Amino acid sequence: LIETQVSEGNTLKNAIQSVGIPEQTYYHWKGAARISAQKDDKTTKPLPPGDELADLVELEEENQKLRRRLAEKLRGENAELRKRLGLD
């Protein structure tokens, strides 16, 4: 989106502001993308689409597990704080 706006004549700074992210974040993402692209160039072959989907499903499952663990931890901390404050 930023590159499109710049190609349409907007300044880079205005384009970054229009999408609502800090400039530092943009440059961080841009650097990370460059590094990722360099790594991709070194790989011999891309993953078949089925493998990408399997990886995505695996990551989603891990994400859900981590969310559940975090929720349990926060509920426990919340209960402990309520107990200490005498709110239960």
pLDDT in tens, 4-39: 888 889 898 998 898 898 888 888 888 888 887 777
pLDDT tens track for 35-72: 877 776 665 566 566 778 888 889 999 999 999 999 99
Domain extents in the chain: 1-44, 47-88
> pTM of the full predicted structure?
0.41
| Distance of alpha carbon 78 from alpha carbon 88, whole angstroms | 11
